[in-house]
Amino acid sequence: MKKILLSLTLIAFFGLVMTSCGGDKKAKTTETKTTEVKKEEAPKADAKPAAIDVSKMTANLENGKKIYSKACIACHFTGVSGAPALKADKYKKEDWQKRADKGMATLLEHSITGFNNNLMPPKGTCMDCTNQDLFDAISYMYNEAKVTFK
Ligand code: HEC
């Protein structure tokens, strides 16, 4: 009787092992399929990334001041190469306003990629800046320029 019970337990045990192996295989097959699908979609991922949703971003003006003082100040204080300037005798509200009218999403995108033959260089030369850092720096400059976005 004990032997029968033992063999039944063994059968049940191996049965379980087999089933789980089978399950694993199935899982792997699904994984491979997902990878294949991703590969097919790869060219799309290389296309222009979707515009950043700036409406979900909140500006940290203190961080913006740090980034501005480290990178953007070099051109945006005195207005090098036609950059909108903050320095009192170079500051023109309309220089800031006409750019603000493009919308924050565009300004952020131009800050990331560079703008006008890179007169405005990619990331404003702050290569370790995140999108949030650049957003903060733009917000800080606009706050100083006393121009708001629509
Ligand atoms: C090497 C000089 C230089 C530096 C450094 C620089 N900028 Fe600029 N930036 C420019 C110039 C020049 C323009 C004006 C381009 C134009 O309108 O022709 C500009 C324009 C911009 C604009 C407006 C873009 C548009 O679409 O009109 C934004 C926003 C901006 N800069 C953000 C930044 C930020 C943020 C930093 C720092 C992280 C920075 N810039 C650092 C030169 C610079």
pLDDT digits 0-9 by tens, 46-79:
555 567 899 999 999 999 999 999 999 999 999 9
User: What residue's CA is closest to ligand 1, atom 1?
Assistant: 75
Q: How many domains does the chain have?
A: 2
Show the tokens assigned to 75.
Answer: 């051109």
Q: Would 55 be classed as within a structural domain?
A: no
Contacts of 140 (CB under 8 A, 6+ apart): 59, 61, 64, 65, 67, 68
- How many Cα atoms occupy the beta-carbon half-sphere of 71 within 13 Å? 21
Confidence of residue 10 (pLDDT cuts 50, 70, 90): very low
Same domain, 77 and 138: yes
Same domain, 84 and 18: no
As a whole number of angstroms, the distance between CA 131 and CA 66 comes to 15
User: What residue's CA is closest to ligand 1, atom 27?
Assistant: 99
Domain holding 95, by residue range, is 60-144
Q: Would 54 be classed as within a structural domain?
A: no
Name the pTM for this structure.
0.75
Same domain, 41 and 85: no
- CATH label of the domain that carries residue 95: 1.10.760.10
Q: Are 148 and 100 in contact (CB under 8 A)?
A: yes
Question: Measuring from each residue's beta carbon to the nearest atom of ligand 1, which residues come in under 6 Å?
Answer: 67, 71-72, 74-76, 80-83, 99, 102, 106-107, 110-111, 115-116, 119-121, 124-126, 129, 134, 137-138
Same domain, 24 and 94: no
